[in-house]
């Protein structure tokens, strides 16, 4: 029985020694592959395509980091004109020109050199300029042949703009008296409001 135990112990020792020996002397393939990967990653690959790509990427980063505000496609666009002769300012609310989308403040100033840039934001642009003449929105409303007539003033001259179908017979006495002298109105919106009041 002692012989059997000794044989078993000997087999276990031999197996254990074999396993330890194999693991200790086995080549380290993982370390070799790591070195190869590291060397490939450290090498610089240079050609025209990668150089251009790096330049493009740098440009994009610079643009993104510049933080300069740009015009949105939904930006409101207003031109204000001050008329020196009559002292009035007229505001025109226009559709944004498509070419202005993504323009910076500097680019908008360059495009509209003859205007002052009163306000610049991604959602609002206001341009301003001065005109030596009149605004062209000076009206006089008078009675002619029993009807309400709209005249436009050009300096000291009056020219018929529109002869309405509104009969002066149905106006209040105050309106009739004012109509004889002529009611001065400035701006289309005010003119439209006055005509609506008469209807």
Cα(169)–Cα(147) distance, integer angstroms: 8
User: Quick one: 143 exposed, middle or buried, by C-beta within 10 A (0-12, 13-18, 19+)?
Assistant: buried
Mind listing the pLDDT tens digit for each residue in 118-164?
Answer: 999 999 999 999 999 888 888 999 988 888 899 888 777 888 888 88
Which portions of the chain are predicted below pLDDT 50? 29-65
pLDDT (0 to 100) of residue 196: 87
- At residue 146, the 3 state secondary structure works out as coil
Domain ranges of the chain: 76-131, 138-198
Cα(181)–Cα(154) distance, integer angstroms: 18
pLDDT (0 to 100) of residue 109: 94
**In the numeric block, which tokens belong to residue 56?**
């493009």
Write down the residue that tokens 């090498």 correspond to: 43
Cα(159)–Cα(138) distance, integer angstroms: 11
76-131 — its CATH code?
Answer: 3.10.20
For the full predicted model, state whether its pTM sits above 0.85. Answer: no
């Amino acid at each position: 029985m002692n012989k059997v135990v000794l044989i078993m112990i000997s087999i276990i020792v031999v197996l254990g020694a074999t396993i330890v020996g194999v693991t200790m002397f086995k080549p380290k393939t993982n370390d070799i592959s790591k070195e190869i990967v590291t060397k490939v990653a450290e090498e610089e690959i240079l050609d025209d395509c990668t150089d251009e790509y790096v330049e493009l990427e740098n440009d994009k980063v610079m643009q993104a980091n510049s933080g300069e505000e740009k015009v949105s496609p939904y930006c409101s666009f207003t031109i204000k004109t001050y008329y020196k002769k009559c002292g009035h300012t007229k505001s025109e609310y226009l559709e944004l020109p498509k070419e202005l989308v993504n323009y910076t403040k500097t680019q908008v100033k360059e495009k509209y050199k003859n205007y002052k840039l009163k306000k610049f934001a991604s959602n609002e642009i206001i341009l301003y300029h001065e005109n030596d003449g009149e605004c062209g929105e000076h009206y006089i409303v008078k009675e002619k042949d029993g009807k309400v007539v709209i005249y436009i003033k050009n300096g000291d001259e009056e020219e018929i703009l529109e002869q309405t179908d509104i009969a002066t017979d149905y106006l209040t006495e105050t309106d009739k008296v004012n109509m004889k002298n002529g009611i001065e109105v400035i701006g289309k919106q005010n003119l439209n409001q006055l005509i609506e009041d008469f209807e």
